A and B are shown apart, each in its own frame.
Chain A
């Protein structure tokens, strides 16, 4: 397989696309993973036109989305476009599907989309990449819907904007789509490795969610959700903690691992906390804390869990979190630096800070836990090798 990454901060969508296409042309990509900042929304078609004009062809399947910035081997930026061109030499069969209506019913939309994508590869999915509109979708329900269909570990994230939480796009074959979930599926012998880690550690006592609705938690272990977090943290939860101070949630499958949920809104009257992503009643939760260093270390933990036996000729796709970026205050450069230091400075790498991450935990024996929806987590997938 051949990979090439490229990025540009050209603000003109067409010229940006042309530059990207120009960079990827040499490997004749079958698929292009494309991530752009929301600033290009004025003319996504021009972006695609630029790519197409530069490649001299519109045959490549372009799959991507908007995020709070871009990550690429040579660049980390708040604004720009990055892309990873993939050429499998015909070894992989690709399919892409999308389904609208995540705002109304994320579970059904995700499930339908997964079935569509799966049908296009005759049910033989080797690897899957998921994106959904982060301003409209419920990430927990997206994952639940896909889990009801897919039996393979998969990764992805929720698209976003520049932390305004107003609009985002999933980019698929010439269109910038809203209110959708989309899946890119590869069928065939695709060597890949996925892992997730955050760097946050649970503290305090475990609480049980006693009262919740959707993504709103009202009561935990006899007290309001805000009171519970205040008692555990030793300080009241503030607006500054939104998107950053997470709860570790323990799934019922008892893997011992936890996925994080960060608060998105505090209700001062009821003491309820809204999360980025819904949660089930009866879930065990613990408050988490981390220093900046520990958050960065989460990247190393994620990378350490990957299968890097064949590190030559691989590419990496990174889905980080807008909340991590906000906390680290370095646009994500620290995270990319860790990756390059571990995987090599020339590795083709793309990614973006999302509004929610999707991915499994890779166990030491090489198997995977189920795929979960995360907040403030670093998900990495290496492909090829």
Chain B
């Protein structure tokens, strides 16, 4: 809206410019002077231009600074009589002009500021909306990252391996739960107060420096190391994988991460394995020697047996022969010990009741000693599938050691109970049911440094000892898929525990005495590569009433058997040696025999149990077994038993 002023003067001042015509520019830029004949004409004219009369000033031209202001004023002629009246009523031109202009400026400024404020607000609203959107996206992404971090963090925290981060001066930055437990820092509130060097032995500090150098050079290091347990100072062998952490922007190394795995169990298993391998190699050697020795013993035992058959038991010769036989069988026990922890010491298992086995073995072992045995058996003990002779040997060995530990006498406690073992339990056995047998003495105890070696062959602290007893026991229990452990405190005593897998059979074989010597008749073929064994075996058989033939290897035996079948004088039984160096052994011979004569009755004999053939003779086609060395009774018993069976 434009405002225009009227000035009512009779005569306009000199220099005043009248505008006879109005232009739109004039109207817009007002106020201005308009010369008109009448107020009505002026109003009409102004209205056409979008303006109107703002006010009417009555003034004397002499009072007004026309020239200086140069504001054209609208003049209208009024009667002189009205002039004074109007002058008194209306404000001065300048004042009105100022007022209108101020109002105009204010109005305009307000409009401008308002427009600016609206614009600013609109801009802010847009900025806010866009910022909000991108912030929400950012928040969403950060949530995902945080979730991912939580997953990773959980993986790290719950790892079984030690995972840690340290700076290059050794200050720990982070250590996961497994790490804290491994090195004994569970109770430390803030691992950042700990330096890695506190977890390393002083003698290994320089090695740690070398590792740092290697990390700086190549960024990675792998190897074995030993931590020092923070609380106990114990040594903890670990496998370490360390690598440098770099700043993603500058690629500068800022810390290093370390993943360590406790290898104590692995080391222990390695030691066990090495021990086993050692035992195996020793066993292999021992087995070989025992085999040959057994053959010789077989011959000696056989001849002694034959001589006994001819001598009077009351006479001096008879007594000497009995003593000789006893000695031979003691020698046999020694070879059996050697064979037991050799590769070929496979147990010949039967289902037995543990309690009975313990009682019989204990009774025998402690005969004549000043040590009493206290047997405590849990009710309803499970049966076990064992080689009774071997397990008796184990109990015997443990009891002998216990007796020797208590030279002044005492009580040995043998206990047994059922145990069900789970995964990762001690001892390290397969999950399942076991019978645990414990032999506890109150003797002098075993020094700690000896405990790891106690099951090694030939390890002994006794003056009179061959160091094979516990090694043999260890091998026997291992072959029975069990485990043997020892606990001991010096001055208090020792307890040996051994675990045997429980049998699924509910019926146990009764342990009973040997069957007496049987005489018989029939044709028996003996095959053995050792001449002395062939000779004594055939002599013993003939003394029992049998007719015999012999062969030095399987080929010869098969030939003889075929001939006997062709001539109508078949052999009634065949005794085959299992191992024939350089020739056909018993296993191959029996297969061929059975092809020739499916009803052939074959006994396997060996001083060297080979891959369980002696234990599972029936599976391999044999009808019976007689281990070497055997005496007359044992040989006669085996042949008599076989011949009494129907075809």
Contact = CB atoms under 8 A, between A and B. Distances in A.
Interface of A: 9-12, 14-15, 37, 39, 46, 53, 78-79, 162-164, 205, 221, 231, 235-236, 238-240, 242
B249 A78 contact: no
B104 A236 contact: no
A12 B101 contact: yes
Contacts of A221: 249
B109 A238 contact: no
B128 A240 contact: yes
Given A10-B105, A11-B109, A235-B138, A164 B127 contact: no
A78 B120 CA distance: 13
Contacts of A14: 29
B223 to A, nearest CB: 35
30 contacts: A9-B105, A10-B101, A11-B109, A11-B112, A12-B29, A12-B105, A14-B29, A15-B101, A39-B108, A46-B29, A78-B116, A79-B109, A162-B112, A163-B116, A163-B119, A163-B120, A164-B119, A205-B249, A221-B249, A235-B138, A236-B134, A236-B138, A238-B130, A238-B131, A238-B134, A239-B131, A240-B124, A240-B127, A240-B128, A242-B127
B632 to A, nearest CB: 95
A265 B124 CA distance: 15
Contacts of B29: 12, 14, 46
Contact of B250 (A15, A205, A236): A205
Interface residues of B, number: 23
Nearest to B129: A239
B126 interface: yes
Contacts of A15: 101
Given A11-B109, A205-B249, A205-B250, 18 more contacts: A9-B105, A10-B101, A10-B105, A12-B29, A12-B104, A12-B105, A37-B112, A78-B112, A162-B112, A163-B116, A163-B119, A163-B120, A164-B119, A236-B138, A238-B127, A238-B134, A238-B135, A240-B131
Interface in B227-250: 249-250
Contacts of A242: 127
B113 interface: yes
A53 B69 CA distance: 10
Contacts of B70: 53
A18 to B, nearest CB: 9
Contacts of A235: 135, 138
A239 B126 contact: yes
B127 A236 contact: no
**Sorted from nearest, which 7 A-B pairs have the closest CB atoms?**
A238-B131, A11-B108, A239-B127, A240-B127, A239-B130, A11-B105, A79-B112
Q: B-side binding surface: helix, strand, loop or mixed?
A: helix
Contacts of A78: 112-113, 116
Interface string B457-495: 000000000000000000000000000000000000000
Contacts of B249: 205, 221, 231
B233 to A, nearest CB: 44
B114 to A, nearest CB: 11
Contacts of A79: 109, 112-113
Q: A-side binding surface: helix, strand, loop or mixed?
A: loop
B116 A162 contact: yes
Interface of B: 29, 70, 101, 104-105, 108-109, 112-113, 116, 119-120, 124, 126-128, 130-131, 134-135, 138, 249-250
A12 B113 CA distance: 16
B205 to A, nearest CB: 35
A321 to B, nearest CB: 16
Nearest to A242: B127
A11 B109 CA distance: 7
Contacts of B134: 236, 238
Contacts of B130: 238-239
Contacts of A163: 116, 119-120
Contacts of A37: 112
Nearest to A237: B134
A293 B79 CA distance: 68
Contacts of A236: 134-135, 138
Nearest to A329: B120
B109 A9 contact: yes
Nearest to A22: B68
Nearest to A16: B105
Contacts of A164: 119
A226 B258 CA distance: 35
A9 B101 CA distance: 11
B490 to A, nearest CB: 65
A39 B115 CA distance: 12
A9 B130 CA distance: 36
* Interface core residue of A10, A14, A238 (most chain B CB under 10 Å): A238
Nearest to B107: A11
Contacts of B112: 11, 37, 39, 78-79, 162
Contacts of A162: 112, 116, 119
Nearest to A235: B138
A245 to B, nearest CB: 12
A14 B29 CA distance: 9
* Interface core residue of A79, A163, A242 (most chain B CB under 10 Å): A79
Contacts of B138: 235-236
Contacts of B113: 78-79
Contacts of A11: 104-105, 108-109, 112
Nearest to B126: A239
A153 to B, nearest CB: 35
A162 B131 CA distance: 23
A162 to B, nearest CB: 6
Nearest to B70: A53
Nearest to A204: B249
Contacts of A12: 29, 101, 104-105
A11 B101 CA distance: 9
B452 to A, nearest CB: 57
Contacts of A205: 249-250
Contacts of A46: 29
A357 B126 CA distance: 27
A163 B249 CA distance: 37
A200 B596 CA distance: 108
Nearest to A241: B131
Contacts of A231: 249
A33 to B, nearest CB: 23
A30 B647 CA distance: 145
Nearest to B250: A205
A23 B109 CA distance: 21
B328 to A, nearest CB: 89
A46 B127 CA distance: 38
Nearest to A14: B29
A231 B138 CA distance: 12
B51 to A, nearest CB: 15
A112 B70 CA distance: 42
A39 B114 CA distance: 13
Nearest to A11: B108
* Interface core residue of B120, B128, B131, B250 (most chain A CB under 10 Å): B131
Nearest to B29: A14
B639 to A, nearest CB: 92
